[in-house]
Amino acid sequence: SQTIHQWPATLVQPVGSPLSLECTVEGTSNPNLYWYRQAAGRGLQLLFYSVGIGQISSEVPQNLSASRPQDRQFILSSKKLLLSDSGFYLCAWTDVGTGADTQYFGPGTRLTVL
């Protein structure tokens, strides 16, 4: 069966510090991978998606970036965090196919930028 992992589970970082969040998927190959964020008072917002190694599409301009160095690994990064980067970050995967496929979410990372 497939599982999705995210770490760390919680993170408190000062403004201006770098960020690296990691997501890995097990039990499937060549998944579509997604990063979402839920900021306070807002719905889940798609940040990035990837259809393969090295292929990243960005939905929202921001100071975050994503990378996919391996088939089942998805990394969210920032060189300098802003207060507005605080939120709950979810990674998700789906089989390659249509948008009618269920997306499966990881446990999330709670990021607080102070």
Partner 1 sequence: ILNVEQSPQSLHVQEGDSTNFTCSFPSSNFYALHWYRWETAKSPEALFVMTLNGDEKKKGRISATLNTKEGYSYLYIKGSQPEDSATYLCALYSGGGADGLTFGKGTHLIIQP
Within residues 60-89, the interface with partner 1 by CB under 8 A covers: none
Which span sits near partner 1 by CB under 8 A: 21-29, 63-71, 75-83, 105-113?
105-113
| CA-based nearest residue to 86, from 12, 6, 9, 4 | 12
Residue 99 found at the interface with partner 1 (CB under 8 A) = yes
Determine how many CB atoms are found less than 10 A away from the CB of residue 110: 14
Q: What is the chain's Cα-based Rg?
A: 13
Which span sits near partner 1 by CB under 8 A: 18-26, 28-36, 62-70, 78-86?
28-36
Distances (CA, A) of 70 to 29, 75, 101: 11, 10, 22
- The site map against partner 1 for 34-53 (x = CB under 8 A) is x-x----xxxxxx--x-x--
